[in-house]
Structure 1
């Protein structure tokens, strides 16, 4: 069974979905079904149950928004993808709060050639576990904020929240 909880945050509701206490999806939406339908068919087959408290995951979200910017790092995550995508997602989790990287730099940190910046962008676009896999910390080398699945204002808010605490 996939368990979900909807948590209030300063930038809107965050739906978090777990399976066996491992986070499988998270996103800035008040409807966990929006995240659930992005899961693999195998996970969707397990069903969805909205619960009152996911314990450590909910505590980590509250702590993060209260200023403990590393609280999300302690939560185990799992999402589908090729070995390259999984490596990029792991390296994303190593980008510290209050800092940013370019797509090209993310690719280099993952041991991929600089030309793999497109793969880094794709990994961010397909990320199912925001902000635990912090794709908001990746900015284009051309300037600006680039895109963000939940909207650029959310990305800007997260970056400002993290930089104000460092």
Structure 2
């Protein structure tokens, strides 16, 4: 029976919970204090047999804290594990290459994923992303720059994009 751990941390945008496999890979994460909002997002093939609360998730907890403090690249170092169809898994990998402060449109995201006409499939990959923040679906916008939807709320998405904006980052130096 596989065991996963979860923890909720306070962040600038409210509570953030992560579910982490025993090897340290994030299985689900998002801006909620309720782990039961995350567990249905985990692929059935990855679902842990036992889920236990743990105050400190090591590298994952450190990355969450450091990201919210301004180290925008730290999330790239954290392993994630999601399962779905071939395109969606590839699209999630591609999404991890979209840099902070350089959001892309859904059309650009589809092209980066190798299927420029598959805009709806790219949008579905964002919508079904279980590992928010670590697979930064908040970095995908509608054509023209409108925010579009976000599982964790448009206000959180707006905060994340402002947090990652080049103007803000330049002001830190």
| Alignment TM-score, normalising by the size of structure 2 | 0.91
Match of 1:139 among 138, 141, 146: 141
Count of aligned positions: 165
Deviation track 1:72-129 (CA, whole Å, cap 9, x = no partner) reads 00000011111100111111100000111011111111111x2101110000000000
Q: Does 1:118 align with 2:120?
A: yes
Structure 1 position 38, deviation (Å): 2.2
- Which residue of structure 2 aligns with residue 57 of structure 1? 60
- Which residue of structure 1 aligns with residue 162 of structure 2? 160
Structure 1 position 31, deviation (Å): 1.0
CA distance in 2 between partners of 1:82 and 1:104 (Å):
20
What secondary structure, in the 3-state scheme, does the structure 2 residue paired with 1:122 have?
A: helix
Gaps of 5+ in 2: none
CA distance in 2 between partners of 1:92 and 1:55 (Å):
24
Across the aligned residues of Structure 1 and Structure 2, the Cα RMSD in angstroms comes to 1.2
Is the CA contact 2:19–2:26 (under 8 Å) kept in the aligned structure 1?
yes
What secondary structure, in the 3-state scheme, does the structure 2 residue paired with 1:88 have?
A: helix
- Which residue of structure 2 aligns with residue 78 of structure 1? 81
Q: Which moved more, 1:34-43 or 1:151-160?
A: 34-43
| Alignment TM-score, normalising by the size of structure 1 | 0.95
Is the CA contact 2:12–2:68 (under 8 Å) kept in the aligned structure 1?
yes
Is the CA contact 1:136–1:159 (under 8 Å) kept in the aligned structure 2?
yes
Is the CA contact 2:46–2:83 (under 8 Å) kept in the aligned structure 1?
no
CA distance in 2 between partners of 1:110 and 1:61 (Å):
26
Is the CA contact 1:14–1:27 (under 8 Å) kept in the aligned structure 2?
yes
Is the CA contact 1:102–1:140 (under 8 Å) kept in the aligned structure 2?
yes
